């Protein structure tokens, strides 16, 4: 089957997409005049392209998908200012220790934690251990922890700061867009939302995680992977389906598009290399 890239389209104008990507760049509070470039911005673009393809496959109208793609392009905006070395050190360590890295997982293990105070609880519990690894107990470390365990709070703060820029770009922000962006960490925030918002939130989670599990940069910097395996990516989507985070319809749509070759070019970009023949054969059978 011929591989294609236009099946996973960038619907918004390229100039707008470039402007949105620049919102990930953040002044370094420790070094006046220095800008921290947004981490792995190509991940956001690839995810947004996949999301548009899946949303269109599921029957969402084009104009809605165009607006949705803006939210997908900005889905990691709460991590603007990510310190690659420090963030990676904290969360790679947490993963190897089996420490929860998402708010709902943290609360499941530590139900006594006040809702919305997961960052503070993490630092109270594990700050001394991190200090032995050379991680300073300061505001900058707090920010890096907040990028995962306090993501809603940080995203809200960053969005407030960039909304004037969004308005100048002609973006009309809607409240559902932020809820969609938060679904992976805070599924409870979608309670009472229309079914189409729920489905778009699931699509973002499915595509973002599928890309992340196929992403060599993230595998090296955070996930402590030696290589990326597509069966692991599909295995995680299945785990999320069994947890009720993803619906059968969303997972099926992702698998169908993967089997059709719609994401091959994007996956090669994420891997930083061409797909092997064995990998292509595996992907062509993804819908079975």
115-121's contacts with Cβ under 8 Å and 24+ in sequence apart are: 116/150, 116/152, 116/153, 118/149, 118/150, 119/145, 119/146, 119/149, 119/150, 119/153, 121/149
* DSSP structural state of residue 245: S
Low-confidence ranges of the chain (pLDDT < 70): 1-6
Backbone angles phi and psi of 23, in degrees to 5: -65, -20
Instruction: Name, in order, each residue with C-beta under 8 angstroms of 277's C-beta and a sequence gap of 6 or more.
Output: none
Instruction: Name, in order, each residue with C-beta under 8 angstroms of 280's C-beta and a sequence gap of 6 or more.
Output: 3, 264
pLDDT at 218: 83
pLDDT at 174: 96
pLDDT at 226: 80
pLDDT at 43: 94
Smallest CA-to-CA distance from 203 within 256, 243, 246 is with 246
What tokens appear for 240 in the block? 């999320």
pLDDT at 5: 45
Composition of the chain by helix, strand, coil, percent to 5:
65, 0, 35
pLDDT at 221: 75
Any idea which residue has 């407030």 for tokens?
A: 160
pLDDT at 4: 42
What tokens appear for 252 in the block? 């099926």
- The answer to whether 158 touches 78, Cβ cutoff 8 Å, is yes
pLDDT at 132: 95
119 vs 216: CA distance, rounded Å: 28
93 vs 104: CA distance, rounded Å: 19
């Amino acid at each position: 089957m011929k591989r294609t890239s236009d099946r996973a389209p960038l619907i918004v104008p390229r100039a707008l997409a470039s402007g949105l990507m620049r919102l990930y760049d953040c002044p370094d509070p420790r070094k006046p005049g220095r800008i921290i470039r947004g981490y792995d911005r190509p991940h956001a673009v690839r995810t947004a392209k996949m999301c548009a393809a899946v949303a269109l496959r599921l029957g969402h109208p084009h104009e809605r998908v165009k607006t949705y793609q803006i939210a997908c392009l900005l889905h990691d905006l709460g991590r603007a200012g990510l310190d690659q070395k420090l963030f990676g050190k904290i969360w790679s360590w947490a993963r190897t220790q089996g420490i929860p890295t998402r708010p709902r997982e943290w609360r499941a293990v530590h139900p006594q934690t006040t809702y919305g105070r997961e960052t503070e609880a993490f630092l109270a519990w594990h700050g001394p251990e991190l200090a032995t690894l050379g991680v300073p107990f300061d505001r900058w470390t707090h920010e890096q922890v907040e990028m995962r365990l306090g993501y809603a709070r940080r995203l809200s703060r960053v969005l407030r700061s960039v909304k004037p820029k969004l308005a100048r770009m002609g973006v009309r922000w809607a409240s559902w867009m932020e809820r969609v962006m938060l679904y992976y960490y805070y599924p409870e925030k979608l309670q009472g939302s229309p079914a189409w918002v729920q489905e778009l939130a699931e699509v973002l989670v499915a595509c973002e995680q599928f890309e992340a599990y196929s992403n060599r940069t993230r595998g090296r910097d955070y996930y402590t992977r030696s290589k990326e395996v597509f069966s692991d990516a599909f295995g995680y989507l299945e785990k999320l389906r069994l947890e009720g985070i993803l619906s059968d319809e969303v997972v099926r749509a992702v698998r169908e598009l993967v089997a059709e070759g719609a994401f091959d070019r994007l996956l090669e970009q994420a891997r930083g290399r061409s797909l092997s023949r064995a990998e292509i054969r595996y992907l062509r059978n993804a819908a079975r």
